[in-house]
Amino acid sequence: MKNIDSYTHTRGESIYLDDIPVVAGTLYGACFDSPVAHGKLISIETAEAAKCEGVFRILTYKDITGENQIGGIIPDEPLFADHHVHFCGMPIALVLADSDEHARAALHKIKVNIEPLPVITDPREAAAKGELIIPPRKFKIGEVDTAWAGCEYIFEGQADTNGQEHLYIETQGAYTIPQENGVIRVYSSTQGPTAVQRAVSKTTGLPMHQIEVDVTRLGGGFGGKEDQANTWAALCALATHVTKRPVKYSLHRMDDMRMTGKRHPYSSDFKIGLDKDLKIIAYEATFYQNAGAAADLSPAVMERTLFHCTNSYFIPNVTATAFCCRTHLPPNTAFRGFGGPQGMFVIEAAIAKAADELGIDATVIQQNNLLVTGNELPYGQKVVSEANECWNEAMARFEFEKTTKAVETFNASNKLYKKGVAIMPICFGISFTNTLMNQSRALVHVYTDGSVVVSTAAIEMGQGVNTKILQVVAQTFSISPEKVRVNSTNTYRIANTSPTAASAAADLNGKATLIACETILGRIKTVAAAELKVDESAIELKDEFVYANGTKTEWDWKKIVLTTYNKRVSLSEHSHYSTPDIHFDKTKEKGHPFAYHVYGTAIVTATIDCLRGTYEFDSVNLIHDFGTTMNKIIDKGQIEGGLVQGIGWMTLEEVVYDKNGKLRSNALSTYKVPDIYSVPKEINIGFLQTQKDNLAIFRSKAVGEPPLMYGIGAFFALRNAIKNFNPEAKTEFNAPMTPERVLMNLYAKKLVTV
């Protein structure tokens, strides 16, 4: 089934925040944000700005009617700077004017006096100075300290990954409209309507039932709007609360890039030990996470780094330690993979380092250590593994030996172009790592004409979750998809929502929808059984008809629905789903946090131009574990998009802050994201379809985040290509591998290894 949004998307009719008709009297907001990364805020001068054309009012922390606090996990983030600024881009004042242009023009007249304080941008420096947001965490299995003695080979090194700008096509924004009795309706481009509702409630002082959050869809979120949509919604809602006027604020691209957090950069140390058969016996990793100036989601992101620090491999002795380091950058936040990719890069670097030193292909070590069913991960969960299945299928389907032979032949006969191949296996846990978040609700109404409307907590952001929800309804009732509508996500219909994140939206909301539909269906069947005078177990609904004892009756869907209503039986249901069997004990760092894992194996082939350092990806051939996919087109789209986004992170995209904490890569002219030319020339996706039972909706495994991590293979394919040009190059494990870095490595004859 096609994505249900494709019709309105292609006609330009889909409603995003900026498409909501503007109400008369709307004020436009614009933020004056800190030009300094760290300092004492001595004074804010707004008198001149207030005199500018069209300016209605200027708000600062003094105007906050509730608490000046938007921190989600830890209350450490003021909405407006009060006495200190903690990062460049921190909101200081909000100008409200009769147009966006007037609001922005007035910003230039605001003056602040800030006494600068020392700026930290490096997580290791922060850790050394004790600037930690939470105490360090440690995952441990076996005994690494004693295991080293049994290792034939031990290697150590450092592996660093940089941040990543979300670059959702729709920037952050909100539009708030006063309703009667002080209620505020909040339109927000958010993945977390309840997070927005809470932030608005806290900053305005209004109870949550005074705040209605409504979301039609997002032009992309990628994690960037899980928590960081709160700021703009809180600013607009506060302004509406104090002015009683509608307020709109939709960020310009450069403002969004400057003021919002990104994927967390990490700097990490590793030590890996193997026995003579190349089994990984011991692994030690220390992660320094660059959290930015406030907690935001960093502690949760850091936790997922630990969960995924051994990727797809079984390692009996592991100690992994992580530090959540406070720096003076905008608070970094969720980004597809949520810390998992950063952990996985480090183990892949460790394996590559071992392979370098042993003079073998990394693939030998990778394959030799893949997880098998029953293996225990460092956090205590035993896996149902598809790692070998994906690997073997990829080797066979894409004729890996032929590929490597062809690459060798190419390299032997070409001086100035070199190819490299790398394999990237993945293993990603599905569920919010915070167990309590794994719950959802759905509201289903069947109308008397047989049409159906469904509301859930899921946010459509391009990933196709609404289509999957619709499929659940249509399939369960056995009615045509045209009979079903998916409503906007609204906190008055569905309360206390978890954000659409952790790739779990289709599972959590789909299962809640399934429960609601099955409940209504049960009632309809009871009515049908009475009407047809047969046992309820003999009733079935198929293709919009009632079947009794396997025989089609003349009762169609419309007739049985209307009859159910006439019998005064409810055609509505509000259902609740919570993932069974998951738990995690943070005091022991052990448990069973994930409903299941998603596996896959990608083979990445790259060609570099050894004169210029530029490169192309010839192909990415992958086998992905979909379980039993419920929507092939959407799932394939998620793989392609995730893969390319991962390649971007690993190769082109370079977030640059200077030592004063100012973002230098602050526009699309200085920050390169993948375009059509950076997409691999060929992407072949093989479906590992398994019939095994799992906790996914219709056994169709979550697909949102895992494919991003195939992109890590791009780094290692380039690294191998460099080695084929310059065997002396000891390319550092420092992503992104930009063309500049490739060039430096191609001609680096004797880099000192760490």
DSSP one-letter code for 296: T
Interface with ligand HPA, residue 355, by CB under 6 A: no
Nearer to ligand MOS, 178 or 223 (CB): 223
Using rule CB under 6 A, residue 505 touches ligand MTE: yes
**Which residue's CB is nearer to ligand MOS, number 222 or number 715?**
222
Residues that bind ligand MOS (CB under 6 A): 191, 223, 226, 334-336, 338, 501-502, 705
- Comparing CB distances to ligand HPA, the nearer of 644 and 702 is 702
Q: Which amino acid is at 667?
A: A
Contact between 50 and 237 under an 8 Å Cβ cutoff? The reply is no
- Asked whether the beta carbons of 422 and 362 are under 8 A apart, the reply is yes
747: left (phi over 0), alpha (psi -120 to 50) or beta: alpha
Q: Interface mask (CB under 6 A) for ligand MTE, residues 574-603, using x and -?
A: ------------------------------
Side-chain half-sphere CA neighbours of 223 within 13 A? 27
**Of 302, 314, 281, which is closest to residue 138 (Cα–Cα)?**
302
Give which of 282, 246, 308 is closest to 29, Cα–Cα.
246
Structure-block tokens of residue 383 = 């896996």
- Does residue 331 have a cis bond before it (omega within 30 degrees)? no
State yes or no: residue 335 binds ligand HPA (CB under 6 A). Answer: no
Under 8 Å between Cβ of 205 and 66: yes
- Stretch touching ligand MTE by CB under 6 A, among 177-185, 252-260, 448-456, 459-467: 459-467
Q: Which does residue 304 bind out of ligand MTE, ligand HPA, ligand MOS, none, counting CB within 5 to 8 angstroms by kind?
A: ligand HPA
Q: Is 127 helix (H, G, I), strand (E, B) or coil?
A: helix
List 455, 638, 651, 665, residue binding ligand MTE (CB under 6 A): 638
Residue 638 site contact among ligand MOS, ligand MTE, ligand HPA, none (CB < 5 to 8 Å, cut-off depends on kind): ligand MTE
> Got the DSSP string for 601-665?
EEEEEEEEETTT--EEEEEEEEEEEEES-S-HHHHHHHHHHHHHHHHHHHHT----B-TTS-BSS
Question: Directed axis angle between helix 387-397 and helix 400-413, to 10°?
Answer: 60
CA atoms within 13 A on the CB side of 436: 2
Query: Quick one: DSSP state of residue 179?
Result: -
Other CB atoms within 10 A of residue 254 CB: 13
Cβ of residue 595: shortest distance to ligand HPA, in angstroms?
12
Nearer to ligand MTE, 469 or 516 (CB): 469
553 torsion bin: left (phi>0), alpha (psi -120 to 50), beta (else): beta
* Residue 334 interacts with ligand HPA (CB under 6 A): yes or no: yes
Least separation in angstroms between residue 475's CB and ligand HPA is 27
Which one of 465, 514, 517, 718 is in contact with ligand MTE (CB under 6 A)?
465
Question: Can residue 266 be called a binding residue for ligand HPA (CB under 6 A)?
Answer: no
Decide: is 422 part of the binding site for ligand MTE (CB under 6 A).
no
Cβ distance to ligand MOS smaller for residue 298 or 720: 298
In the complex, minimum distance from the CB of residue 226 to ligand MTE, in angstroms, rounded to a whole number: 8
Please identify which residue in 504, 655, 685, 746 interacts with ligand MTE, judged by CB under 6 A.
504
Binding range to ligand MTE, per CB under 6 A, among 176-184, 455-463, 541-549, 684-692: 455-463
In the annotation, is 705 catalytic? yes
Q: What residues form DSSP beta bridges with 84?
A: 40
Please tell me the distance from the alpha carbon of residue 364 to that of residue 584, in angstroms, as a whole number. Answer: 34
Should residue 430 be labelled a site residue for ligand MTE when binding is judged by CB under 6 A?
no
To ligand MOS, the closest distance from the beta carbon of 645 in angstroms equals 11
With tokens 């006969």, the residue in question is: 413
Using rule CB under 6 A, residue 300 touches ligand HPA: yes
d(CA 308, CA 612): 35
Q: Does 651 bind ligand MTE (CB under 6 A)?
A: no
Q: Are 212 and 490 in contact (CB under 8 A)?
A: yes
Question: Residues 170, 393, 705, 732: which is the catalytic one?
Answer: 705
Which of 222, 211, 161 lies closest to 185 in space, CA to CA? 211
Q: Residue 273: helix, strand or coil by DSSP? A: strand
Q: Which of 500, 575, 694, 724 contacts ligand MTE by CB under 6 A? A: 500
Q: Closest CB to ligand MOS among 194 and 204?
A: 194
User: Which one of the spans 149-157, 426-434, 684-692, 715-723 is the region binding ligand HPA (CB under 6 A)?
Assistant: 426-434
Question: Cα separation of 326 and 303, whole Å?
Answer: 16
Nearer to ligand MOS, 375 or 433 (CB): 433
The answer to whether 195 contacts ligand MTE (rule: CB under 6 A) is no
Applying CB under 6 A, among 704, 713, 736, 739 the residue interacting with ligand MTE is 704
What is the smallest separation between the CB atom of 655 and ligand MOS, expressed in angstroms? 17
Closest distance of CB 720 from ligand MTE, Å = 29
Residue 584 near ligand HPA by CB under 6 A: no
Among positions 32, 155, 432, 594, the unique one binding ligand HPA when judged by CB under 6 A: 432
x/- mask, ligand MTE, residues 198-237, rule CB under 6 A, reads ----------------------xxxx--------------
Provide CB contacts within 8 A for 559, sequence distance 6+: none
433, interface contact from ligand MTE, ligand HPA, ligand MOS, none, CB < 5-8 Å by kind: ligand HPA
Structure tokens at 721: 């290509």
Contact 66, 197 (CB under 8 A): no
Q: Is 222 in the site for ligand HPA (CB under 6 A)?
A: no
Sign of CA dihedral 147, 149, 154, 156: positive
Return the structure tokens found at 109.
């007249």
- Tell me how far apart the alpha carbons of residues 65 and 638 are, in angstroms, rounded to a whole number: 42
Give me the 434-473 binding string for ligand HPA, x by CB under 6 A, dash otherwise: x--x------------------------------------
How far is Cα 200 from Cα 133, in angstroms, rounded to an integer?
Answer: 24
Looking at residues 326 to 365 of the shown chain, list those that interact with ligand MTE (rule: CB under 6 A). 336
- Reading the block at residue 336, the tokens are 């597809």
Which residues are known to be catalytic? 705
Residues of this chain that interact with ligand HPA (CB under 6 A) are 226, 297, 300, 304, 334, 338, 432-434, 437, 501-502
The residues of the shown chain that bind ligand MTE, judged by CB under 6 A, are 220-223, 336, 461-463, 465, 500-506, 638, 641, 702, 704-705
